Amino acid sequence: MLHPFKGNMDVAALERFVEERGPATIPVVFVTITNNSGGGQPVSLANLRAVRAVCDRFGLPLFLDACRFAENAWFIKVREEGQAGRQVVDIVREIASLADGMTMSAKKDGLANIGGWLAMNDDGLAEQCRNVLILTEGFVTYGGLAGRDLEAVAQGLREVVDEDYLRYRIRSTAYLGEALAADGIPVVQPIGGHAVYLDARALLPHVPPLQYPGQALAVALFVEGGIRGSEIGTVMFGRHPDGTESPAAMDLVRLAIPRRTYTQSHVDYVIEVVRYVAARAGELRGYRIVTEPPALRHFTARFAPLA
Ligand SMILES: Cc1ncc(COP(=O)(O)O)c(C=O)c1O
């Protein structure tokens, strides 16, 4: 059976890490819900409670990257034992109660075009953050956002926990993933909340990881069909602080689906294009990096195709 909560933090590894490094060297523990780089997979309440217990044991604050909190709560409702009878909004409250703070990009489950927030229980820390906010973004009542965007976030937060909306949202993502999987195209299973992740390493076994199969597939989807996906693999994670490079754990292409944007026909078009490219996967070649910045190279590196 497939693991229903592949986004879970490895609690034993977290404990080992904190013990080895020493809690004094670790300012915060972050859990991203859902796990974006690992396939849009959810984190269970049981896992969040276990992480909370480790944080309590070592006196560490637990923060959430909560940008997909509602999708994560929906998965908890439909997959986690004992949660089916609860309202999503109650699950969201419990998730929040387990953390000391959160970062939030409201462009995701805020259903807004822009904006986000940083929230925390520690009043002293919050005051320091507010002072930086005033210096960098704007006064705390608007944080650099226009009033209309704040209104959009407030409305989005009401609508995002609507269970009909969530059922539709998660179902539409699964529709894309299931259609591709039925055609034998390798995708990360189970299908995640906001995106379908193509397994480029499996689809392009002739392109070694250091020739960036995820990038090759992402480029081909854009060239053939104007579909803009994103490599999540060796380009994103392969360069290390000491300058060396090695293959990432996976070479994926993320097809993230904006909320309330596409119809089923748009998604059918995506399916056709992915099928077309997958049928010609053997012809795709790898890439080399021409220039890259010292950090976060996946945002701005330049590539050239290999012959
Ligand atoms: C998990 C996660 N956290 C944070 C962000 C950053 O969001 P923003 O671009 O609004 O700062 C993203 C988005 O791309 C994301 O997927």
Domain count, the chain: 2
Q: Compute CA 49 distance to the chain's CA centroid, rounded to the nearest angstrom.
A: 21
Say which residue, 143 or 38, is predicted with more confidence.
Answer: 143
DSSP state of 71: H
Output the domain CATH number for residue 206.
3.90.1150.10
**Last residue within a domain, chosen from 160, 179, 203:** 160
Ligand 1 mean position, distance from CA 229 (Å): 15
Ligand 1 mean position, distance from CA 285 (Å): 30
Give the pLDDT confidence score for residue 181 in this predicted structure. 98
Residue 107 Cα: closest atom of ligand 1: 10
Lowest mean pLDDT among 36-40, 119-123, 138-142, 302-306: 36-40
Same domain as 277, residue 198: yes
Mean pLDDT of 57-66: 98
Same domain as 232, residue 141: no
In a domain, 44, yes or no: yes
Nearest to 43 by CA among 85, 99, 126, 86: 99
Closest Cα to atom 13, ligand 1: which residue?
105
Give the pLDDT confidence score for residue 95 in this predicted structure. 98
Long-range contacts of 236-241 (CB under 8 A, 24+ apart): 236/37, 236/297, 236/298, 237/37, 238/209, 238/210, 239/292, 239/297
Give the pLDDT confidence score for residue 37 in this predicted structure. 84
pTM for this prediction: 0.94
Same domain as 181, residue 108: no
Ligand 1 mean position, distance from CA 249 (Å): 21
Mean pLDDT of 254-258: 97
Same domain as 41, residue 127: yes
Same domain as 202, residue 116: no
In a domain, 6, yes or no: no
Instruction: Give the pair of three-digit tokens for residue 274.
Output: 């992915």
DSSP state of 285: -
Same domain as 101, residue 88: yes
In a domain, 257, yes or no: yes
Question: In which band, very low, low, confident or very high, does the pLDDT at 38 lie, cut at 50, 70 and 90?
Answer: confident
In a domain, 2, yes or no: no
Question: What is the distance in angstroms between the CA of the first residue and the CA of the last residue of the chain?
Answer: 42
DSSP state of 23: G
Output the domain CATH number for residue 101.
3.40.640.10
Mean pLDDT of 62-79: 97
Judge whether residue 106 has pLDDT over 80: yes
Judge whether residue 137 has pLDDT over 50: yes
Same domain as 104, residue 61: yes
In a domain, 1, yes or no: no
Judge whether residue 55 has pLDDT over 80: yes
Mean pLDDT of 148-172: 97
Give the pLDDT confidence score for residue 228 in this predicted structure. 97
Ligand 1 mean position, distance from CA 158 (Å): 20
Domain with 198 in it:
163-305
Say which residue, 3 or 305, is predicted with more confidence.
Answer: 305
Judge whether residue 2 has pLDDT over 60: no
Closest Cα to atom 4, ligand 1: which residue?
105
Closest Cα to atom 16, ligand 1: which residue?
36
Judge whether residue 3 has pLDDT over 70: no
In this structure, the residues whose C-beta lies within 6 A of any atom of ligand 1 are 32, 36, 65, 67, 105, 107, 116
Mean pLDDT of 50-70: 98
Same domain as 167, residue 153: no
Mutational test site, ligand 1, from 71, 107, 197, max ligand atoms within 8 Å of CB: 107
